[in-house]
């Protein structure tokens, strides 16, 4: 080997100390982690937060889509017959307001047969308990892939409430896309709804005494929309 031959670049794998629960698919590809890195940075302003949340959504969604039902059917190209991949079931996306709204436009772009329902939840500042302020869900959810879009799984209370609402409305196949989660919240969701899979790029260390995720990224709704 000549002395000018470049040394191979060592790819460092991230050290993971927290075990990932079985209800979580960790989507820690570099595209997702790069977007999350910008979102975590306290200097990032709302417009950039929204742009990075869209990127993050587009990095996670293809992994979630692998677990949906697809059907393979023939189609005619201008030259011959090819095998096409088509949605096997309708998809209903359910952004949880406010933060989940930032994922909606990007998520919509991945599906041809798709509807949207809305759930508006808020956490009490003192108790961190979730309350439902409103909902608007499409009918006949039973045979749909229902995908909740929400940013943070902190205590897990919001996810559990959203899933309860969707199951009461008839949904049977429910998944959630998230930005950052805490181990406590994932465990709570896993216990309440072991049938629901969650997809996201990072499981952080813990909750602080205000039930915020540490290190996390702060209050996602406020950081996306410039409120406090
Ligand atoms: C955030 C987030 C989740 C919830 C998670 O919403 O978008 O919905 O907190 O916390 P939990 O797991 O402890 O329930 P928030 O209530 O801050 O509302 P916002 O999106 O309107 O800011
Ligand atoms: N909601 C957020 O937006 N951030 C947290 O860390 C916890 C709940």
- Give dist(CA 104, CA 57) in Å, integer: 9
- Give dist(CA 135, CA 171) in Å, integer: 14
Pocket test for ligand 1, best of 39, 148, 200, 220 (most atoms within 8 A of CB): 220
In a domain? residue 8: no
Torsion angle, alpha carbons of 124, 129, 135, 139, to 10:
170
- Give dist(CA 117, CA 67) in Å, integer: 21
Residue 123 annotated as catalytic: yes
Q: Whose Cα sits closest to atom 21 in ligand 1?
A: 98
In a domain? residue 110: yes
Pocket test for ligand 1, best of 154, 178, 198 (most atoms within 8 A of CB): 154
The whole-number pLDDT of residue 20 equals 82
In a domain? residue 76: no
Positive or negative: CA dihedral 128, 131, 135, 139: positive
The whole-number pLDDT of residue 149 equals 98
- Give dist(CA 5, CA 115) in Å, integer: 55
Residues 6+ apart with CB under 8 A from 105: 54
The whole-number pLDDT of residue 117 equals 98
| Residue 152 Cβ < 6 Å to ligand 2 | yes
- Closest atom of ligand 1 to CA, residue 99: 20
In a domain? residue 3: no
Residue 127 annotated as catalytic: yes
The span from the first CA to the last CA of the chain, in angstroms, equals: 59
The whole-number pLDDT of residue 16 equals 55
pLDDT bucket at 12, cuts 50 / 70 / 90: low
Tell me how many domains the chain contains.
1
Tens-digit pLDDT profile for residues 189-199: 999 999 999 99
- Give dist(CA 221, CA 46) in Å, integer: 10
pLDDT surpassing 70 at residue 13: no
Tens-digit pLDDT profile for residues 74-102: 999 999 999 999 999 999 999 999 999 99
Taking the centre of ligand 1 as the mean of its atom positions, its distance from the CA of residue 122, in whole angstroms, is 6
pLDDT bucket at 228, cuts 50 / 70 / 90: confident
In a domain? residue 7: no
pLDDT surpassing 90 at residue 204: yes
Q: Whose Cα sits closest to atom 3 in ligand 2?
A: 219
Beta bridge partners of 86: 71
Q: Which bin fits 140, alpha (ψ -120 to 50), beta or left (φ > 0)?
A: left
In a domain? residue 75: no
pTM: 0.93
In a domain? residue 1: no
- Any idea what the Cα angle at residue 74 is, between residues 147 and 105, rounded to 5°? 25
Range of the domain at 91: 24-70+86-225
In a domain? residue 156: yes
DSSP secondary structure letter of residue 168: H
> Residue 147 sits in a domain of what CATH number?
3.40.50.2020
Residue 222 annotated as catalytic: yes
- Closest atom of ligand 1 to CA, residue 151: 7
- By residue count, the chain amounts to 228
């Amino acid at each position: 080997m000549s002395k000018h031959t470049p040394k191979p670049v060592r790819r460092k794998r991230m050290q993971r100390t927290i075990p990932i629960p079985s209800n979580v698919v960790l989507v820690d590809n570099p595209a997702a982690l790069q977007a999350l890195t910008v979102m975590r940075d306290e200097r990032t302003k709302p417009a950039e937060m929204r742009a990075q949340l869209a990127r993050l959504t587009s990095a996670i969604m293809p992994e979630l889509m692998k677990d949906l039902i697809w059907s393979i059917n023939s189609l005619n190209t201008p030259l011959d017959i090819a095998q096409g991949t088509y949605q096997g079931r309708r998809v209903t996306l359910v952004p949880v307001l406010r933060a989940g709204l930032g994922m909606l436009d990007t998520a919509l772009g991945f599906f041809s047969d798709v509807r949207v329902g809305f759930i508006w939840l808020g956490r009490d500042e003192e108790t961190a308990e979730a309350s439902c302020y409103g909902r608007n869900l499409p009918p006949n959810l039973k045979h749909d892939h229902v995908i909740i879009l929400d940013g943070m799984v902190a205590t897990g209370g919001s996810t559990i409430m959203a899933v309860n609402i969707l199951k009461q409305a008839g949904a049977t196949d429910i998944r959630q896309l998230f930005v950052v989660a805490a181990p406590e919240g994932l465990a709570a969701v896993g216990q309440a709804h072991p049938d629901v899979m969650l997809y996201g790029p990072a499981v952080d260390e813990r909750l602080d005494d205000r039930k915020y995720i540490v290190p996390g990224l702060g209050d996602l709704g406020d950081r996306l929309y410039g409120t406090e």
